[in-house]
A and B are shown apart, each in its own frame.
Chain A
Amino acid sequence: MAYGPHTPADRQRMLAAIGVRSVDDLFADIPEALRAGPLRLDPPEPEQALVTRLGGLAARNQADLASFLGAGAYRHFAPSLVDQMLLRGEWYTAYTPYQPEVSQGTLQSIYEYESLMAELLGLDVVSASHYDGATATAEAALMTCRATRRDRVLISRAIHPHYREVVRTYFHGAGIAVEEIPLVADGAAAGTTDLAALEALLAEPERPAAGVLLAQPSFYGLLEPMAEAARLAHAAGALSVAVVEPVSLAVLAPPGAYGADIAAGEGQALGIAPQYGGPYLGILACTDALVRQVPGRLVGMTTDLDGRRAYVMTLQAREQHIRREKAASNICTNQTLLALAASIWLAALGPHGLRDVVALGAARAAELEAALTKAGAPRLHPGPYLNEFAVRVVDAPRVHRELLERGVLAGLVLGEAVPDEPSVRDGLLVCATEVTTAGDIAAFAAALGEVIGGRAPAAVGGAA
């Protein structure tokens, strides 16, 4: 067996000590009728053959296109040191730090992650991590219900469609109502969350809302009226949840500054490779007042018997292994290694490097906007954006396909990704980051010009 240490003599010695003739005797407790036959799987594969197989599968993917796809997973530059640190076995082959005396590395790294994220978010309590942005958002929504003892949450339709779907899946189980806040149809705020509609949804005294969820930037890349939404939520006795993209917080106001009680988000952008969907990093944070409502592990600083500074998992009575059916959540495994990756990335870049990442992405996005407008694909919404925006393209699925044939991954076809939002039917969601090159942008614009030819759509609808 690969990786196994036992020689035939070792096995014999162990069997003799136990006092059985063969290993089969150790499975005599499985009723005969329920015993399985041999597994019908391929024979073992030596490492050399495995390497060839995996290399071949990786080569079947096209991961090196000129890509403008973001939509919740972003490419960023990761300095070499990050992965070299992550490859240390002391990090990745450790289990949950159940014995803190021999897990201070993991525990201190989590404490530092909590601290780094607290700085970015402007909130004091940061969970040691959740599975991803979508599940963290669902947990945030559940927190608002526990904290307010209400069972109705309002979620903006400008939140990532996958996140909204996950919230619905979770809430069907919990028996909580989820209602969506529509988007502004036209004018300067087109595509952002409709605050008048939010106000109306909050003004139903017999059905009080527990929480109000908006994303900043929104799924469509737009900047949302976070402060005003938080004010409306609080006036109705509800909590305010901000769904954030953490890299943007180098520049954008942090949730704590505009009154959010809870922040959730996807931490993949903090230097974690896209990896076709995960493992990613669910961020969940809240104000001090909500610390006992936050699900998942927390690490705190304390001292050892000699008074030395040390770190330990704390407030564990919230968690499933102690509270069982009364726990805040069933979460156990989290994304510690990804939280470590994010911390090392942030430590390597520092505050100025992080700001440069955001500013460079914003600059590239502006170049992209100009090039696409010129090629016949103007923006779909007029409001300010950071590094992601929607453009109007007639017959977007076909255009997207034809661009792909020309080596350009032209973002996301909104009509397919968000079929329930007619206002973006003719949209492509595109993004640029600091790794987007001028050459990629030129290739996109040139190919787009070829594909849409003289069939450029009219300018921004309603706002022109």
Chain B
Amino acid sequence: MSASGPRLQPTIFERSKPGRGGGLVPHPPSDALDRIPTEQRRERPAGLPELNEAEVVRHYVNLSQLNHAIDVGFYPLGSCTMKWNPKVNEWAARLPGFANLHPLAPDVTTQGTLQLLWELEQILLEVTGMRAVTLQPAAGAHGELTGILMIRAYHEARGDTARTEVLVPDSAHGTNPATATMAGLHTVSLPHEDDGGVAVEAFRRALGPQTAAIMITNPSTLGIFESRIGELLEAVHEAGALAYMDGANLNAILGRFRPGDAGFDVMHINTHKTFSTPHGGGGPGAGPVAVNERLEPYLPAPRILRDPDGAFRLERPGERPTSIGRMRAFVGSTGVLLRAYAYLRTHGGSGLAEVTDDAVLAANYLKHRLAESGAFDIPFEGVCKHEFIASASSIKKRTGIRTLDIAKRLLDHGFHAPTVYFPLTVDEAMLIEPTETESVETLDAFADALVAIAEEADRDPDVIRSAPHTAPVRRLDEAAAARNPNLRWRPAAGDWTPCPD
């Protein structure tokens, strides 16, 4: 493609031409593989494409231009915190001293990275009000599993083995109940009150000697701070259970609320949300887990330790028998963690407080703009935190236009859509999270676009129903994709060439 013309690309396999490419690595001696027994070898080369450098580059440059991204425009995906991804962090992660460091290199050769990780732990402890932290989990959901396994280990160590249930509010991310199942526990779903908070009576009925933990997202996925949190946590601990905080929405409370101080026993942090590490089209992330003194003995191994002489080291295998064990290979997603460290150093204590203040200010401003317009239902009035819910419920009743249609029409305005149909507890939900790094002009333009679409729904619903009109493709046949899955390209039979030697 060029600046004009067709935008879609053939697959990289279709760009291949036998005999193209090469010249990147030295040629090996011809007998290099003679010692590999024939029965252990491939019969023929894998059907990988053959391309020269320009073909590879053009393929991936052109493909990239089919994406919306933070570097391209506004990305108000609720619960995903799509804030600006600083460029200096990319530079830092590529410093050879960091990038080329082997994960099993002896501690004496890795002091710079160990110091960075250790300092990162100290910063996270101050932010969360917790006692200890593991940087090992590779993502938020991985952190959830780590936390719940630690809770299990805590109860087991006390001989308290009848605790098999995890209480999860109905507005929670799907990862919460899925985590409970992976940890061998059962989920009990908690209903919500009209104000969006956990229904306290139902919660008290569900709580008992069989309860291992409660998992709470605070602020909730409705963007509402759980004001009764003190009361809930007190009851949880009275019942002998522990409290897990899903830190997906930490961006709303930096310097305003510390989960550890409030009585949570464990929480995870999504570095790709709160601390701006790039999400790369779906990953990587990192999910550090912070705990209080109850759970510290059970942290995954290895921890990062500082010896009295100031040297840093990793825990040795078996050094702390109470550990739940490893959650992944090696130390952690260090390349992600060091970007989070750079972000935290850049902001410092005062900057982090401003992050939260501006994120909450932007969300309330945008919510106010939409409420004022009357174009959408705003199911939860009053202040929100860093995100809020709007609903197309009335628009649907009036015009048949659904949230999905509005999301698609937003793409024509150059915006990514908010998170839609989540949480599951709100009809025709749109979860909107502007973040602190979007200008007021962008917020106004987005509000104007949403209001214009709502008006369009009455005037010309078909143009919304058939949106998007300016994206690289129109709506997709997802049913066909699922009924007859095509999950891989099949190069035409015989479309490979033997190695030249």
Least Cβ distance of B141 to chain A in Å?
5
Query: Does the CB pair B140–A333 fall under 8 Å?
Result: yes
Q: A63-B97, A95-B80, A278-B330 are in contact. Are A330 and B42 (CB under 8 A)?
A: no
Within 8 A of B (CB), among A158-174: 160-163, 165-166, 168-170, 172-174
Between A39, A128, A251, A326, the greatest number of chain B beta carbons within 10 A of the residue's beta carbon is seen for A39
Q: Would you call A97 an interface residue if the criterion is a C-beta within 8 Å of the partner chain's C-beta atoms? A: yes
Closest to B467 in A: A101
CA distance A61 to B349 in the complex (A): 28
Closest to B485 in A: A300
Can you name 22 A-B pairs with beta carbons within 8 Å? A14-B362, A23-B360, A27-B256, A29-B227, A51-B92, A54-B95, A62-B105, A88-B60, A94-B69, A98-B77, A106-B67, A135-B138, A278-B336, A302-B486, A325-B181, A332-B174, A346-B48, A347-B49, A353-B22, A354-B48, A356-B27, A357-B25
CA distance A15 to B477 in the complex (A): 44
Which stretch from B144-152, B288-296, B389-397, B449-457 is at the chain A interface?
B144-152
Q: A36-B129, A63-B96, A114-B488 are in contact. Are A301 and B317 (CB under 8 A)?
A: no
Which stretch from B202-210, B236-244, B431-439 is at the chain A interface?
B431-439
> Which of B149, B187, B230, B349 is the one whose CB lies under 8 Å from A40?
B349
Closest to A309 in B: B8
Closest to A330 in B: B178
Q: Would you call B249 an interface residue if the criterion is a C-beta within 8 Å of the partner chain's C-beta atoms? A: no
Query: Does the CB pair A302–B476 fall under 8 Å?
Result: yes
Q: Would you call B3 an interface residue if the criterion is a C-beta within 8 Å of the partner chain's C-beta atoms? A: no
Query: Does the CB pair B115–A57 fall under 8 Å?
Result: yes
Query: Does the CB pair B127–A39 fall under 8 Å?
Result: yes
CA distance A149 to B439 in the complex (A): 54
Query: Does the CB pair B280–A274 fall under 8 Å?
Result: no
- What 0/1 pattern do residues 292 to 336 of A give for CB contact below 8 A with B? 000001111111111011101011110111111111011111111
> Which of A160, A173, A251, A409 is the one whose CB lies under 8 Å from B145?
A173
**New A-B contacts (8) at CB < 8 Å, excluding given A30-B227, A95-B77:** A1-B358, A63-B101, A101-B476, A253-B39, A257-B42, A278-B331, A301-B489, A333-B284
CA distance A42 to B496 in the complex (A): 58
Across chains A and B, the number of contacting residue pairs, with CB separation under 8 Å, is 723
B285 partner residues in chain A, CB cutoff 8 A: 333
Size band of the A side of the interface? Answer: 35 or more
CA distance A413 to B225 in the complex (A): 51
Q: A54-B342, A384-B40 are in contact. Are A38 and B109 (CB under 8 A)?
A: no
Query: Does the CB pair B100–A63 fall under 8 Å?
Result: yes
Query: Does the CB pair B36–A362 fall under 8 Å?
Result: yes
> Which of B21, B59, B254, B342 is the one whose CB lies under 8 Å from A39?
B254
Least Cβ distance of A175 to chain B in Å?
5
Between A71, A88, A161, the greatest number of chain B beta carbons within 10 A of the residue's beta carbon is seen for A88
- What 0/1 pattern do residues 411 to 450 of A give for CB contact below 8 A with B? 0100011010000000000000010000000000000000
Within 8 A of B (CB), among A75-108: 75, 77, 79, 81, 83-85, 87-106, 108
> Which of B69, B474, B491 is the one whose CB lies under 8 Å from A93?
B69
CA distance A104 to B28 in the complex (A): 38
Query: Does the CB pair A353–B350 fall under 8 Å?
Result: no
Q: A363-B29, A409-B109 are in contact. Are A131 and B328 (CB under 8 A)?
A: yes
Q: Would you call B354 an interface residue if the criterion is a C-beta within 8 Å of the partner chain's C-beta atoms? A: yes
Determine the main DSSP class of B at the interface with A. Answer: loop
B253 partner residues in chain A, CB cutoff 8 A: 30, 36
Query: Does the CB pair B67–A104 fall under 8 Å?
Result: yes
Within 8 A of A (CB), among B22-47: 22, 24-29, 32-33, 35-37, 39-43, 45-47
> Which of A43, A93, A312 is the one whose CB lies under 8 Å from B350?
A43
Q: A92-B85, A116-B48 are in contact. Are A384 and B282 (CB under 8 A)?
A: no
Within 8 A of A (CB), among B72-110: 72, 75, 77, 80, 82-86, 88, 90-106, 108-110
Closest to B346 in A: A2
Query: Does the CB pair A302–B149 fall under 8 Å?
Result: no
Q: Would you call B179 an interface residue if the criterion is a C-beta within 8 Å of the partner chain's C-beta atoms? A: yes
> Which of A63, A90, A102, A335 is the one whose CB lies under 8 Å from B284?
A335
A279 partner residues in chain B, CB cutoff 8 A: 138, 283-284, 286, 333, 335-336
Closest 6 CB pairs of A and B: A337-B280, A89-B71, A60-B112, A58-B97, A277-B330, A41-B349
A131 partner residues in chain B, CB cutoff 8 A: 138-139, 142, 328, 333
> Which of B60, B103, B184 is the one whose CB lies under 8 Å from A344?
B60
